[in-house]
Structure 1
Amino acid sequence: MDQANRRQLVKTGALSAGVLLLAALLVIVNYFGWKYYKRFDWTSSQLYSLSDKTKNVLKGLNKDVDFIVFMSPDQQRDLYQPTNELLQRYGSASRRVHVKFLDLEKNPLEAQSLSQQYGVTTQGVVVASGKDKRVISSADLADIDSTSGEPRITGYKGEQLFTSAILQLSEGRKPKILFTTGHGERSLDDQGGGGLALAQQLLGRDNFDLSEWASLGKSAVPAGTDLLVIAGPTGSFVQPELDAFSAYLNNGGRMLVLLDPTLAPAGAGGGLVKTNLEGWLARYGIKAGQDIVVDPTAILPFFGPETIFIKSYGEHPITKAFAGAGVPVLTSLVRSMAAGNAPGVKVTELMRTSP
């Protein structure tokens, strides 16, 4: 590969950061939704009836919880009605629960004041207790199916999200997400196109505790870590680090590995940088290709062949919204990932290029 092409690939690699960040956000949001969802047998047939488990949580409250709803009853009628019905039942079940609905159109000044007070930038629901709070976007309240053209709600997730927020506030801690450092990973403080400052802004402020962790020389992942993220490393991990990751997974931990195809220096024989994660991932049924994906059937005008769009998705909650809406994902400079063989491991492909 000549130097001009190499520089172009490195330059366009920054474009893939947005897709990587999107994937990270989707995985994180879905993971913590599953985590608290599995605690309960949520009622799906009785939309507005509280489950027994939710009633027990509300009965055990020892401090006040405020729900502030930033939604328009006219513009978001399909979400406003079930949210209103459900939260009225929360309020009836416990005197500790207080619900306030803000009509963004009829009371814009009050809505603006409370938006500034709670740091809300999108429509949704704030769950607050004392000085702590969780913010639930209206986009997360329901599953939407757009395959027939007209968006249609196929599942309302209010009880799952509201009771999960109450539990987190009651426990007095936010889910802890660690990002490894020391191997050229993308930084939480980087405001550039390749950084993760947006993740810090969207997740760390209200709902999650995001921080960085230097894994080199550490014998174990810190206790209390709910999710460990390796975001775009450009250097190699050593065996003790990999052993620590394995021990963390074996003890029930969760990891998100975002592996870019980083080009090795010209004097190093070309190809991709070896991070040593490739062989480690193979133990878990994931084959990381030593390549850059090019799909001639999915290229875009005015872009190089390394920039493609993907519209074929696997069966998984993470990609369900994309598949339902028929929305393609634009990627630039990505490597192939494929399912391998690992005993007792189930691998699901999230996105696929053309056959």
Structure 2
Amino acid sequence: MTVKKTILDSFKSRKFRYGGYATLLAVAALAIVVGVNLVVDQIPAKLDMTQDRLYSLSDQTKKLLGSLSVDVTITTLGRPGSEDKLVKEVLDRMAMASRRIRLESVDPETNPGWAKTYAKTGDLREGSLVVAASETKFKTIDRYDLYNYQMNQQTYQQEVTSLAAEQRLVSALQFVTAEKVVTVYVVKGYDAAGLADFGLTSAVEGQNYAVKELDLIAAGSVPPDADVVLLANPGLDLSAADAEHLRTYLAGGGRLMVLLDLEHLAARTPQLDELLGNYGLGVQRLLVIEGDTNRYAYSRPFYLLPKYEYHDIVSPMSSADLPLLMPVAMALKVPALKKRALTIEALLSTSENSWGKVNYSSATTTNKEAGDVEGPFTLASAVTDPAQKAGARDTKLVVVSSAAFLQSSIQQVAAGNADFFLNSLSWLSEKKDEISVSAKSLQSYPLRINTLWGLILSAVVVLMIPLGVLGAGLGVWLRRRHL
């Protein structure tokens, strides 16, 4: 009876009451924490604390998704659950932002019939995406195009630098929902180059151009759907018939871009010279040398860093201070007599302290010598020939005196080279401004603090927090000791 009374009295003691209260509070706090976590886990909203808003859609993307008027299906190739986590995050956010977006996963190995429908544009490897408004209007995005890569100069290995999934998806959405796609025809033959030779196919198609090859001999004319014709780095002169095809095309408001190369172009090109001459341009067969040390690179005075002139093509590059490197260039000239209506505008030029070597093949020095032609020189020009009839298209040309500026090795060290080419296509085609979304960096930025703050944080972590915990524990012990 005494033991029972002792036990019952212990439940009535102050120590038991305080201990019970403490236990009850601990259980309640734990229940609240668990409940809050369960509720928060069901809320779709997330707070993106990354510097480049890696887990958020840009405002431009949200605007595009909100304006979609057709249903678009985005299909991930591969087994369900094998999707890339970052890419899946972008896709999920797009689907949440628009009821027009539908997400699917298809394994091409178990569904080969589906894969054949979309395989025309390239290999459909696991992890790639197909953005489709219909079976005839679609765009594939290779898995390796969903990220940007850069060569590590120490390890010589490709490293992922940024997430380009949103950028590629926005471009694809604009392509499949556009009423009209701008078509660029690349001239075949004449030992000319294609976009693939410059590694520019993906960049051009990524800007929503449809790229087709043009064999003028087989076609017999320039196709009527040609918005722009590209003649890149021809080695031979045009035939009289093909030059006439291009003249007819230009006379009807055509758009032509010509990239020439001093080392590759034939010594005599009367048909090409006449074609360009009709629009007020001529080519000076000389090697341009730059005398201003600030206007050339790699200690090579023929690796030019040209000056940007005032034109819509180069204004964005000039404002962003993007470097453009142009190696081994000829010069363009404007004849004394030209059609009055023509507007010929320089895009790129050299400094006053430049000269051209006519006998460049036998020259033993880049220094200025007797017989060299004095600069400055125009390296690229834009020509506009206004239409004679109201409502008709103006004729436009862009001529560049060095095709070497688009070599892959040159593009890698000069950010402005590809931009200049793409801006030229945009100006020629009068392509309307489209939404442009930047890739999102995956670089980790370390927290950098100065010495003073380092000492303060060390004192807080090493001294103040432990002392605070020790003091709180000592206070609790002293209170309970007197209970």
TM-score, normalising length: structure 1: 0.53
Matches for 1:82-231 after TM superposition, within 5 Å? 82-84=59-61, 86-87=63-64, 89-90=66-67, 94=69, 96=71, 108=86, 110-111=88-89, 116-118=127-129, 128-131=132-135, 132-133=138-139, 165=175, 168=178, 170=179, 174-188=181-195, 195-196=197-198, 198-204=199-205, 207-216=208-217, 219-231=220-232
Cα 1:222–1:277, aligned 2, differ >3 Å: closer, same or farther?
A: same
Distance in 2 (alpha carbons) for counterparts of 1:72 and 1:202: 31
**Is 1:285 equivalent to 2:277 in the alignment?**
no
Higher RCO, 1 or 2 (CA under 8 Å, sep at least 6)?
Answer: 1
- Residue 87 of structure 1 aligns to which amino acid in structure 2? L
**Is 1:233 equivalent to 2:234 in the alignment?**
yes
- Residue 290 of structure 1 aligns to which amino acid in structure 2? R
Asked if 2 retains the 8 angstrom alpha-carbon contact of 1:339 and 1:348, the reply is no
Unmatched 5+ stretches in structure 1 = 1-70, 100-105, 120-126, 138-160, 190-194, 266-271
Q: Deviations over 1:239-270 (max 9, x none)?
A: 221111111112222111111113678xxxxx
**Is 1:246 equivalent to 2:243 in the alignment?**
no
Distance in 1 (alpha carbons) for counterparts of 2:273 and 2:193: 18
Q: How many residues align?
A: 231
Asked if 2 retains the 8 angstrom alpha-carbon contact of 1:188 and 1:212, the reply is no
1:290 is displaced (CA, Å) by 1.9
Specify the alignment match of 2:339 in structure 1: 342
Cα 1:116–1:250, aligned 2, differ >3 Å: closer, same or farther?
A: farther
Asked if 2 retains the 8 angstrom alpha-carbon contact of 1:134 and 1:206, the reply is no
Distance in 1 (alpha carbons) for counterparts of 2:216 and 2:49: 46
Look at both structures and tell me which one has the larger radius of gyration over its CA atoms: 2
Cα 1:224–1:84, aligned 2, differ >3 Å: closer, same or farther?
A: closer
1:325 is displaced (CA, Å) by 1.8
Matches for 1:25-104 after TM superposition, within 5 Å? 74-75=51-52, 81-84=58-61, 86-87=63-64, 89-90=66-67, 94=69, 96=71
- Residue 133 of structure 1 aligns to which amino acid in structure 2? K
1:317 is displaced (CA, Å) by 2.5
Seq. identity, %: 17
SS at match of 2:274: helix
Q: Tell me which of 285, 291, 296 is aligned to 1:296.
A: 291
Distance in 1 (alpha carbons) for counterparts of 2:265 and 2:211: 30
1:339 is displaced (CA, Å) by 4.0
- Residue 186 of structure 2 aligns to which amino acid in structure 1? F
Asked if 1 retains the 8 angstrom alpha-carbon contact of 2:182 and 2:209, the reply is yes
- Residue 179 of structure 1 aligns to which amino acid in structure 2? V
Distance in 1 (alpha carbons) for counterparts of 2:61 and 2:309: 34
